[in-house]
């Protein structure tokens, strides 16, 4: 009998996720861990973590981590990469961290073309603090701070992060993926691999936005949450690769 | 014929594996773990498991720790 799945070696021994049941953070962390194994990067990695549910990364992933102030993971990743250019540096952030409080740092890291990889988990809400309206909350979505649903007059429009980062000249790769179905999980792994590769090749900033579910704050079962990702989120945040300079050169 | 191994203490009863398995071989169990979560059990009497590892890829808590094909 051939073993086709095992726990990635980059995970800490005897870890147990502290996320809510059905949270897609666990899948995203597993994909990162599998890629660190496959690309043999584990001993050479420094991770810059954020604030929010994504902060727990360093409890589970067996790599060196530096904790950044809220939103400043890309800025501290810049410092780490410039001090140690031989290391593989990536950030793992939520949408509130990357696209709200840290938007300036994130965007300028992309504009400077820093050779770091950034992962943004988009669940359209602030998960850890109780489901408040975030920068990516979609129109009409009810949250604890938008009890009548997000509207244009009072709250404005959500930000499409992958498209915005793709507009920056220093970006080498920008893509949006989802984790609602198995094919999408496989695509997410390919996108993450590409974002890691552009850093290793020294081409520039690699970015992946991952559409994730938050069953607790959406008040849904995990199954219903994945249906919401498919039916409500993907039409607003279309999946795809928005910038890839490796293929542009080849054409 | 495939086989999976479930770590009961990691399972949090989200039942995503139950809806993901293409053969419907993972079922809700009446047993609980030490946190009181109702577990899932792998029920493959006829050897139908194809070892696709979709359950393990789907499990958000990595409670399906080994898949054999």
Give the tens place of pLDDT for each residue, B9-25: 999 999 999 999 999 99
pLDDT-based confidence at A250, cuts 50/70/90? very low
Quote the percentage of chain B above a pLDDT of 90: 71
Q: Count of domains in chain B?
A: 1
Question: B7 to chain A: which residues are within 8 Å by CB?
Answer: none
A5, A11, A226: residue with CB nearest B67: A5
Question: B9 to chain A: which residues are within 8 Å by CB?
Answer: 16
Give the tens place of pLDDT for each residue, A95-117: 999 999 999 999 999 999 999 99
Closest residue in A to B54 (Cα) is A182
A4 CB within 8 Å of a chain B CB: yes
**CATH number of residue B50's parent domain:** 3.30.70.20
pLDDT-based confidence at A249, cuts 50/70/90? low
Q: Are B62 and A30 within 8 A, CB to CB?
A: yes
Please report the pLDDT score of residue A251 as a whole number: 47
CB A208 within 8 A of CB A191: yes
pLDDT-based confidence at A158, cuts 50/70/90? very high
ipTM score of complex: 0.94
Q: CATH fold of A25-132+160-250, please?
A: Rossmann fold (3.40.50)
Residue B35 structural domain: 3-68
* Pairwise CA distance, residues A179 & A187, whole Å: 9
CB A109 within 8 A of CB A74: yes
At A76, list the tokens: 């501290």
Quote the percentage of chain B above a pLDDT of 70: 100
CB A125 within 8 A of CB A143: yes
């Amino acid at each position: 009998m051939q073993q086709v799945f095992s726990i990635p070696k980059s995970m800490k021994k005897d870890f147990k996720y502290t996320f809510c049941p059905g949270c897609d953070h666990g899948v995203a962390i597993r994909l990162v861990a599998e890629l660190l194994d496959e690309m043999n990067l584990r001993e050479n990695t420094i991770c810059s973590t954020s604030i929010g549910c994504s902060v727990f990364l360093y409890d589970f992933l067996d790599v060196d981590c530096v904790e950044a102030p809220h939103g400043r993971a890309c800025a501290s990743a810049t410092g780490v990469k410039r001090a140690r250019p031989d290391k593989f540096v990536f950030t793992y952030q939520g949408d509130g961290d990357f696209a709200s409080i840290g938007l300036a740092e994130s965007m300028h890291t992309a504009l400077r073309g820093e050779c770091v990889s950034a992962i943004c988990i988009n669940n359209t809400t602030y998960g850890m603090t109780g489901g408040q309206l975030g920068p990516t909350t979609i129109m009409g979505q009810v949250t604890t701070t938008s009890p009548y649903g997000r509207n244009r007059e009072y709250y404005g429009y959500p930000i499409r992060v992958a498209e915005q980062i793709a507009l920056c000249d220093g970006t080498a790769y920008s893509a949006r993926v989802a984790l609602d179905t198995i094919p999408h999980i496989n695509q997410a792994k390919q996108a993450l691999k590409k974002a890691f590769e552009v850093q290793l090749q020294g081409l520039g900033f690699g970015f992946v936005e991952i559409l994730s579910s938050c069953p607790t704050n959406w008040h849904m079962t995990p199954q219903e949450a994945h249906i919401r990702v498919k039916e409500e989120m993907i039409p607003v945040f279309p999946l795809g690769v928005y910038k890839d300079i490796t293929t542009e050169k080849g054409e | 014929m495939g086989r999976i191994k479930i770590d009961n203490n990691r399972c949090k009863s989200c039942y995503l594996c139950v809806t993901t398995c293409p053969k419907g071989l993972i079922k809700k169990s009446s047993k609980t773990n030490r946190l009181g979560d109702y577990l899932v059990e792998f029920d493959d009497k006829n050897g139908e498991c194809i070892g696709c590892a979709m359950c393990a890829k789907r499990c958000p808590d990595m409670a399906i720790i080994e898949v054999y094909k």
